[in-house]
Amino acid sequence: MTGPLRDFEQTMLWRLRATVSDSPGSLARICTALAGQQISIVSMQTHPLPVGAVDEFLVRAPLALSRADLARAVAAGGGRDIWTEQADAHDLVDEPTHVLALATRTALDAAELPVALRRLFGRCTIRQFPNGGAKAAAGIDGHLMRLPVPSGDLIELSRPHLPFTPTEFARAQALVELDSLLGPRVPKVEARLTLPAGTDLTVRRADPEDKAAALAMHGRCSTDALRKRYHGPVKDADRYLDHLLDPRHGQTLAVETSDGRIVALAHLMWDDDSAEIALLVEDTWQRRGLGVDLLRRMAALALEAGVPTVYAVTHASNTGLISTMRRLSAPLDYQVEDGTLVITAHLSEATEQLPTPWPSR
């Protein structure tokens, strides 16, 4: 095969950044250097700095061109502090469209804020500190970004491989302000779940208003069930609910009977590039398939959020959870230490496609 299609197959997408001087022709020199290596510029944007600027490009380069060759071409054009990373088709969306899409998802669901920040900046660590994190100053400091929240908390992002820019800080601050302005919100999504015995249940997103029903479920659970779920003193189980039901920390699913009783809870909690999942099914409702259904829904929600791996922490003796995790048809990693078992599922390598979490949405 020859022609444009064949030429397209012999190229690779790259994202690159370089700091340039604030002088006429600096951008033109980099563009000329890239053209000299048969590199096509797909898109570019500029991040102004107090002195100079950071130019960011999405380029299509010949497949034979190495990362080092690409960096040398940029350096020859006058760029410094050069960063490169392979890109894919998802990066072809222009930046304003990308930011608007993230803002829309954040506006619809408070649980999307950390996901939106991660998608905005790529690989980064996100932590939230109560009461301003010892009054740390907001702003950017190289590889660290601190964002104040009107509630008094502070969100901290770190990205060791690439410094943040003032433009990125402004985008992140706009997302945080949007989230704070709209307040706690959980989308009203649900699905029907019919058990083999003919019992109809509802699976839906839970929120802080479900605390009383969740506490009542705790009261109906055995000590063994609570211990396997919370890995600590059973008397402390109730105090975790405020955190778990807060949508800013992740997503919680509840299984509800026709009379409004919650009989199972599942939690998906964001953790850097992964997410922790946890299940609690009331004793009298166990071994009916609720755990498998909830786990598959949470895994689908994780993939939908761009999170490729999930993990569960439990007692090494919890054979029920081990069996349930295996139903994901994904490669599993096991780590055991002092009787605690961590099971990690690589969802992107699953051999079966996960169902849509909310078919009616």
Whether residue 197 is found in the same domain as residue 327: yes
Could you say which of 182, 200, 222 is where a domain stops? 182
- Residue range 3-17: mean pLDDT, rounded: 72
21 within some domain: yes
356 within some domain: no
Whether residue 235 is found in the same domain as residue 265: yes
CATH number of the structural domain spanning residue 84: 3.30.70.260
Whether residue 176 is found in the same domain as residue 39: no
What is the band of 232 on the pLDDT scale with cuts at 50, 70, 90? low
Comparing 92 with 284, which gets the higher pLDDT? Answer: 284
pLDDT in tens, 293-342: 999 999 999 888 888 899 999 888 888 888 889 988 899 999 988 888 89
Residue 59 has pLDDT above 80, yes or no: yes
Residue 199 has pLDDT above 90, yes or no: no
Whether residue 339 is found in the same domain as residue 199: yes
CA distance 47 to 54: 5
Whether residue 258 is found in the same domain as residue 196: yes
Whether residue 195 is found in the same domain as residue 329: yes
Comparing 259 with 152, which gets the higher pLDDT? Answer: 259
Q: What is the pLDDT of residue 2?
A: 46
**Residue 11 is part of which domain span?**
4-91
Residue 88 has pLDDT above 50, yes or no: yes
358 within some domain: no
CATH number of the structural domain spanning residue 277: 3.40.630.30
48 within some domain: yes
Whether residue 76 is found in the same domain as residue 108: no
CA distance 279 to 291: 7
Report the 10 Å Cβ neighbour count for 134.
7
- Residue range 230-253: mean pLDDT, rounded: 80
361 within some domain: no
Whether residue 199 is found in the same domain as residue 260: yes
Question: Which is nearest to 182 in space by CA: 107, 104, 99, 114?
Answer: 107
Beta bridge partners of 267: 252, 278
What is the band of 1 on the pLDDT scale with cuts at 50, 70, 90? very low
Number of folded domains that form the chain: 3
Q: How many percent of the chain have pLDDT more than 70?
A: 92
Q: Which of 87-101, 190-204, 253-267 has the highest mean pLDDT?
A: 253-267
Whether residue 243 is found in the same domain as residue 324: yes
CA distance 348 to 353: 10
Element (H, E) at 204: strand 200-205
Q: Which residue has the tokens 């699913």?
A: 253
What is the band of 61 on the pLDDT scale with cuts at 50, 70, 90? very high
Q: What is the pLDDT of residue 9?
A: 60
Whether residue 338 is found in the same domain as residue 250: yes
> Mean of the per-residue pLDDT values for the chain?
86
359 within some domain: no
What is the band of 135 on the pLDDT scale with cuts at 50, 70, 90? low
Could you say which of 182, 207, 225 is where a domain stops? 182
pLDDT in tens, 92-118: 777 888 888 889 988 988 888 888 888
CA distance 300 to 264: 18
121, amino acid identity: F
Range with lowest mean pLDDT among 67-76, 225-234, 328-337: 225-234
Helix (H, G, I), strand (E, B) or coil at 13: strand
Could you say which of 69, 91, 113 is where a domain stops? 91
Whether residue 298 is found in the same domain as residue 243: yes
Range with lowest mean pLDDT among 36-40, 57-61, 113-117, 282-286: 113-117
- Residue range 143-153: mean pLDDT, rounded: 84
Element (H, E) at 314: strand 309-315
